[in-house]
Amino acid sequence: MSKKIVSFQGLQGAYSDLVCRQLYKNFKTLACDTFQKTLDVVTNGDADLAIIPVENNIAGRVADMHFLLENIKLKIVAEHYHKIEHYLMAKKNSTLKNIKNVYSHAHALSQCKNNIKKINLNPINYMDTAGAAKFVSDSKDDISAIASKLASKIYNLKILKKNFEDKRQNITRFLVFSKTSHKFSTRKKIITSIVFNTKNLPASLYNALGGFAENGINLTRLESFFVNKEFKQFSFIVDVESHPEIQNFKKALKVLKYFSTKVRILGYYKASSFRK
């Protein structure tokens, strides 16, 4: 029997790859060039699950994911909060004294900014952290990368500094996508994710979300983005603490639909223990 497959965006050794291996130890991981392809391989049946980062407590939301969620055909089936631990790495024969440049993704560089200054390195943007590690491994120069511990193993690099991030509480939230929804008991603590477009009228968002307040349902996330080039219509993504089969949720959803032009449930899933 062939192994199940979980897809992620980036090269082997990316933080998404690390999360895949931790959450789904018996799965084979599939590296993809883009977020769109990461989701498409599940839609097409070439992978069973996709894992995508959606927000970070320091860097904010992940660019482009909102637009993908607007028209996605998959369902969100799980969430995972992962503590990001950055490692400064170089080739086996390199030392800190010989290194001048450090390569990594812009977010990783910004999250290690103070520590980079302390050892007088020159930060250089690279497309992603694992790609930076591979670039260092393939290079003939004495250079370094900031990436995951997994990347150091995959690309045979020596760790010069561990926990290189400036702030220890560096958390990224990941969502897991599947073709089919998972079933959860209404007694479990459940998060339901919804995308909706409001009518272009005064107080439309206030009215649309009013049903959740009236029915005692807590919103844990609310984000907006434009859905057309004229900046005339907003789309919103909300996460609410409720199972979609609970009566109060159904009442709130009815209100949401009345004041919206489009409403779609992206999925429901067990609340991560991190939320406690």
Domain span at 46? 5-83+170-178
Asked whether residue 184 is assigned to any structural domain, the reply reads no
215 DSSP β-pair partners: none
CATH number of 120's domain = 3.40.190.10
216 exposed, middle or buried (CB, 10 Å; 0-12, 13-18, 19+)? exposed
Query: For residue 223, what are the contacts with CB-CB under 8 A and spacing of at least 6?
Result: 61, 66, 236, 237, 238
Asked whether residue 49 is assigned to any structural domain, the reply reads yes
DSSP 59-92: TEEPTTHHHHHHT--SEEEEEEEEE---EEEE-T
- CA dist 117 and 102 (Å) reads 11
Asked whether residue 203 is assigned to any structural domain, the reply reads yes
Asked whether residue 276 is assigned to any structural domain, the reply reads no
Q: Smallest Cα–Cα separation from 268: which of 153, 185, 147, 145?
A: 185
Amino acid at the residue 140: K
Clarify whether residues 74 and 92 are in a common domain. no
| Catalytic positions | 172, 174
Per-residue pLDDT in tens (0 to 9) along the chain, 276 residues: 578 999 999 999 999 999 999 999 999 999 999 999 999 999 999 999 999 999 888 777 776 777 788 778 899 999 999 999 999 999 999 999 999 999 999 989 999 999 999 999 999 999 999 999 999 999 999 999 999 999 999 999 999 999 999 988 889 999 999 999 989 999 999 999 999 988 878 888 999 999 999 999 999 999 887 665 555 667 899 999 999 999 999 999 999 999 999 999 999 999 999 987
Asked whether residue 185 is assigned to any structural domain, the reply reads no
Clarify whether residues 68 and 91 are in a common domain. no
Angle at the Cα of 194 from the Cα atoms of 191 and 198, rounded to 5 degrees: 145
Asked whether residue 29 is assigned to any structural domain, the reply reads yes
Clarify whether residues 47 and 108 are in a common domain. no
Asked whether residue 274 is assigned to any structural domain, the reply reads no
Asked whether residue 238 is assigned to any structural domain, the reply reads yes
Clarify whether residues 76 and 100 are in a common domain. no
Radius of gyration (Cα) for the chain, nearest Å? Answer: 21
CATH number of 197's domain = 3.30.70.260
Please, what's the largest Cα pairwise distance for the chain?
65
176 DSSP β-pair partners: 51, 78
- CA dist 270 and 239 (Å) reads 12
Total domains, the chain: 3
Q: Which of 130, 149, 178 is the last residue of a domain?
A: 178
In contact, 121 and 102? CB cutoff 8 Å: yes
Clarify whether residues 78 and 95 are in a common domain. no
Clarify whether residues 69 and 174 are in a common domain. yes
Backbone angles phi, psi at 274, to 5 degrees: -60, -30
Angle at the Cα of 62 from the Cα atoms of 57 and 64, rounded to 5 degrees: 160
